[in-house]
Amino acid sequence: DAKTTQPTSMDCAEGRAANLPCNHSTISGNEYVYWYRQIHSQGPQYIIHGLKNNETNEMASLIITEDRKSSTLILPHATLRDTAVYYCIAEGLNQGGKLIFGQGTELSVKP
Amino acid sequence: ETGVTQSPTHLIKTRGQQVTLRCSSQSGHNTVSWYQQALGQGPQFIFQYYREEENGRGNFPPRFSGLQFPNYSSELNVNALELDDSALYLCASSLGGVGNQPQHFGDGTRLSIL
């Protein structure tokens, strides 16, 4: 299982883009990069996932480097409600659906 | 589309007791995973059920057991409760067997052991 490394905490001004980095230098070819976030007292919320190509949905964009050793989650216009812990996870088809959560990045969006 | 629901939301037990936590999966999902989240930590994988069979287990003792029913809902049972079992227990459902599909989580059951 590939290990991911994220900064412990980040701040972002409301209305600006939040760029959350993740390193996964040991990722294997069949492992996807998943992003979840957890707002206090709630369960983790799925945001986006990808394998090689950049992905975008209504919540965020995911940029994966060509060598797949790192990725960035982009929240284009952060709001106060985006304050949460963000988890980057590498998960493959051979892992039996086991998501391995690290400590994540605590994002604080400030007015 | 109904999301993942868990019951109860909060529970208080004493050491040595047994507890059953319940999870209703999201409509159309056939796979349920359970996680334990201690205060200040990320969730830890307990086990997963796919079509009523256990499909992977994390590093948890046998006193943690589970079931999945024909309607794909699930139970987590913990016997001989210990103080360290105090945590948020999360259930996640997904559509297994069709490639890489995201897991969708409920809001958990907060279990406190006195």
Of A36, A43, A100, the CB nearest to B107: A43
Average pLDDT over residues B7-27: 97
Rounded distance, CA A37 to CA B52, Å? 28
Give the separation between CA B6 and CA B104, rounded to whole angstroms: 12
Tell whether A104 is within 8 A of chain B (Cβ): yes
From chain A, pick out residues whose CB is under 8 angstroms from the CB of B23: none
CA distance A73 to A18: 8
pLDDT in tens, A27-76: 988 889 999 999 988 999 999 999 999 999 999 999 999 999 999 999 99
Largest CA distance in chain A: 43
> How large is the average pLDDT for residues A1-19?
93
Query: Per-residue pLDDT for A12 more than 90?
Result: yes
Q: Report CA-CA distances (Å) from A5 to A104, B31, B52, B73.
A: 8, 28, 34, 34
- The predicted pLDDT at position A91 comes to 85
Residues of chain A with C-beta less than 8 angstroms from the C-beta of B96 = 97
Picking from A40, A46, A55, A95 by the largest number of B CB atoms within 10 A of its own CB, the best residue to mutate is A46
B2 pLDDT higher than 80? no
Q: Is the pLDDT of residue B82 over 70?
A: yes
Three-state secondary structure string covering A67-101: CCCEEEEEECCCCHHHCEEEEEEEEEHHHCCCCCC
B16 — phi, psi (to 5°)?
A: 90, -20
- Asked if A98 reaches chain B (Cβ–Cβ under 8 Å), the answer is yes
Band of pLDDT at residue A19, cut at 50, 70 and 90: very high
pLDDT (mean) for B7-28:
96
